[in-house]
Structure 1
Amino acid sequence: MGFHVEINSILRSDEYTGLAIGEIRAFRKSGSRVFFDDIPIWLTKSDWTALAEIQVISQSRTPTEVKGEFQVLHVYGGKEQVRVTEMFRRMYADGGDPFIYVLMSPEVLKKSAVQGVYAPKSLDTEDFIHASPIGQITRLANKYYCDNDTIHVAVVRKSRVTAPIKWEPATGGLYPHIYGKLNMDAVEQTFTFFKNEEGKYQVDI
């Protein structure tokens, strides 16, 4: 039987600032996945902001940790950093979930279903529709729909959304923003939630 080793191609850390091409930095991360050491890999922040292209020059691992050193090959900045960051967030920020989640009041859901599109006021004021990763739905429901006794959660398949989706920082992490009207045929199902005895929503999907 062969020996299976899982390999990472991205080092995520918030420890690095002032990177310069050619310098050597130490790294340490939890987990036992090692890094490619014969080809360049990427260095990003924990929110997937692209920092640099690096090459691991030494590494060792234990069952709980990998540590070593890398050399900086290229540092991202300006428009290049923005483009590469958008790519990483598009590919990885969802954690593998094929869906994003949109909160709607009963009235708005009914109107959007009839019209075939969801176009809230935020499209005019912010140029995008607020959506949510699954882990933030309860917080958002209690923050923005506290005056509603009922809330609907639309489960939206990302691959069917016709408008661009960008993952951008906001309170609590990264959120999917839909830059255009949401075509309602991308909604695969909706869930209805009511406030509990404490007057709060608890959204479990």
Structure 2
Amino acid sequence: MSIGVVVFPGSNCDRDMHWATEGCLGMPTRRVWHEETDLGGLEAVVLPGGFSYGDYLRCGAIARFAPVLQSLVDFAAKGGRVLGICNGFQVLTELGLLPGALTRNRDLHFICEDAQLSVSSARTPWMSRYGAEGQLTLPIAHGEGRYQCTPDTLKRLQDDDSIALRYSSNPNGSVEDIAGLTNAQGNVLGLMPHPERACDPVTGGTDGRHLLEALLS
């Protein structure tokens, strides 16, 4: 069994993810081209950051029609673990696997910095190793990371305990400081911060390791 990292035209974090999972954590990993439809043999699938299809129309709007994502819907429905990071989170909302939308940052600027985060829910394997109210630091790099949803959707997320991560100091205006969330079943996680950039001690931090280890736990 291995991890699949989807590669779209415009992806720029697929190699970062491959290095984090296989190079740092020893997890067998293969890149999955966006035109593929066979996800057999994969235990988890990652949608990496970048600018899928150039982010034309809006972030993730074209990627959601990629052949591989039609297979991903079935994969997730059967309980397969799916992780969407940054642009991958945007794709998951466009695809309907997660609710809400990611929009332009509050101040309309691209933000590239370390973000202090708190674990809002540790009910799923993604966050369980950090513990409830755990603290971690992960890099962010986005121009459209402001999470928004309707009041009814927000209540449902709260009722389902699906808000996984919150910003300690909100950098982009996301409602309720949301930095990452899961579906009700807990097998799909989307987040704007980059855990794959916090796995190698050489780059200055390893707070992303526990989250990525959950891909095969």
Q: Rg bigger for which structure?
A: 1
Q: TM-score, normalised by structure 1?
A: 0.23
More helix by share: 2
Give the structure, 1 or 2, with the largest relative contact order (CA under 8 Å, sep 6 or more): 2
